[in-house]
Amino acid sequence: MKIVKEYVLNMFNGFCMALADSVPGVSGGTIAFLLGFYDKFINSLDDLFRGNMKAKKNALIFLIKLGIGWVIGFLASATILSGLFTTKIYAMSSLFIGFIIAAIPLIVKQELDSFKGKYKNIVFAILGLLLVVGITLLSGNSLFDVNLAKPDIFTYLYVLVSASIAITAMVLPGISGSTLLLVFGLYIPIMNAIKELLSFNFSVLPVLIVFGIGILFGIVFFVKLLRIGLKKFRSQICYTIIGMMVGSLFSIVMGPTTLEEPMQMLTFKSFDILFFLIGIIIIASLEILRVKLSKQTDVK
Angle between helix axes 89-110 and 273-299 (nearest 10 degrees) is 40
| Residue 197 near residue 204, CB atoms below 8 Å | yes
Q: Is the pLDDT of residue 83 over 90?
A: no
Q: Is the pLDDT of residue 78 over 70?
A: no
Single out the residue of 175, 157, 247 nearest to residue 27, CA to CA.
175
**Position 4 confidence tier, pLDDT thresholds 50, 70, 90:** low
> What mean pLDDT do residues 244-269 have?
81
pLDDT value at residue 186: 80
| Residue 132 near residue 27, CB atoms below 8 Å | no
> What mean pLDDT do residues 59-66 have?
88
Q: Mapping DSSP to helix (H, G, I), strand (E, B) and coil, where does residue 268 land?
A: coil
Single out the residue of 226, 233, 239, 247 nearest to residue 121, CA to CA.
239
> What mean pLDDT do residues 94-123 have?
86
**CA-atom Rg of the chain in angstroms:** 19
Amino acid 24 reads P
Tell me the C-alpha distance between 80 and 37, whole Å.
27
pLDDT value at residue 213: 93
| Residue 168 near residue 224, CB atoms below 8 Å | no
Compute CA distances 170 → 19, 30, 283, whole Å: 12, 9, 20
Q: Is the pLDDT of residue 294 over 90?
A: no
Tell me the C-alpha distance between 108 and 225, whole Å.
23
Q: What is the pLDDT of residues 168-186, one digit of tens each?
A: 766 776 566 666 776 677 8
**Position 292 confidence tier, pLDDT thresholds 50, 70, 90:** confident
pLDDT value at residue 121: 93
Q: Which residue has the higher pLDDT, 294 or 88?
A: 88
Q: What is the pLDDT of residues 9-42, one digit of tens each?
A: 778 788 878 777 666 556 677 778 777 788 888 8
First-last CA distance in the chain: 13
> What mean pLDDT do residues 219-244 have?
83
What does the DSSP 8-state code read for residue 141?
S
* Lowest-confidence pick of 6-10, 201-205, 240-244, 285-289: 6-10
**Position 2 confidence tier, pLDDT thresholds 50, 70, 90:** low
Single out the residue of 213, 216, 175, 234 nearest to residue 46, CA to CA.
216
> What mean pLDDT do residues 129-155 have?
73
Tell me the C-alpha distance between 184 and 99, whole Å.
26
Tell me the C-alpha distance between 137 and 149, whole Å.
28
Tell me the C-alpha distance between 201 and 12, whole Å.
29
| Residue 84 near residue 19, CB atoms below 8 Å | no
